[in-house]
Chain A
């Protein structure tokens, strides 16, 4: 598996989990994501035992909710992150997270592979940009995601090239709104 196609491969694996209940594909996703989700939860303040347990919950959710994954709007890593984030709010902060209204494609929607691939590429580009940020900036963003700072601490400029991925997502939303009409 080369780095260039990795995100696209995770998308394929998750779609196989969804359509074929493919255990080998699921095992591959688990090997990659579970230890990373566990590390994320430990960085966020969970004990190792709690992080292990919550990670199993997260991966169980990945199995059960695979049909909700939309490759035109998020990479697999991003989707897994949102599940881990919600589990963290629930288990660590004993709180809940109000979610925006769902926007879902109509029943006629045919998944557009080119759009999905373009989004995976944007996600990879963002990942690389994140890795190349100056350490201080990267540290600030990491601490924001681990919940280690107050919300007034972050500088207005994160230095992240979010514009490209944002416009890609915006395109998907525009198509979706068009379909909803």
Chain B
């Protein structure tokens, strides 16, 4: 997937290293996989961290395998038919979602089952393990997402349109990493509705009273 505009905001080294190490919650991994699909710079950074994993494997103090382990394994390999080639990944449909996101949605943006969350904002929570949650957000052009602080880490990746907040402008492919301390008010730019992929490892806490009351119901 190639981008028309230059990506200015990238994941941190710590996040890329954890994604390379395979220790992130599934929800965060999905945001990283989607960003890397859009960004060759981060694809190269990710491979570099995977090379660190290779270096660690090479330097491990060996734990001896069972004596017959190799022969047993070889016998199993030879005794079983060559496994059928794994089902190739569904062909990526034309659209704004990179492959890994299409896998979770079951298609591109037209396949998303949106739910309104108030003030014109819509969301769709994607199924992942429970260590964190990830959702698609649809913010009408020119609208604000209610002011919210964070109890954990929040990753937001723009797929269409753009938003601005205290940290700058985020367009397609840009990823914002918001931490505990941060309170921000993202506002979608006028023109095109903004669609983002956002993952959190703790529930968002909205500042305004009403959205906070609605929070448990909406799973936001």
Contact = CB atoms under 8 A, between A and B. Distances in A.
Nearest to B65: A34
A131 B77 contact: no
A78 B45 contact: no
Interface in A82-134: 82, 84-86, 88-89, 93-103, 122-123, 126-127, 130-131
Size range of the chain A interface in the assembly: 35 or more
Interface residues of B, number: 67
A156 B21 contact: no
Given A36-B60, A170-B40, A81 B54 contact: yes
Contacts, number: 202
Contacts of B48: 126, 162, 165-166, 169
Interface stretch (B97-105, B160-168, B185-193): B97-105
Interface in B55-76: 55-66, 69-70, 72-74, 76
B87 interface: no
Given A99-B33, A100-B37, A123 B54 contact: yes
B114 interface: no
A96 B63 contact: no
A174 to B, nearest CB: 8
A85 B153 CA distance: 23
Contact of B47 (A52, A64, A74, A88): A74
Given A34-B69, A123-B51, A156 B77 contact: no
A87 B10 CA distance: 28
B142 interface: no
Given A36-B60, A63-B77, A130-B55, A78 B50 contact: yes
3 smallest A-B Cβ distances: which pairs? A78-B54, A35-B62, A77-B54
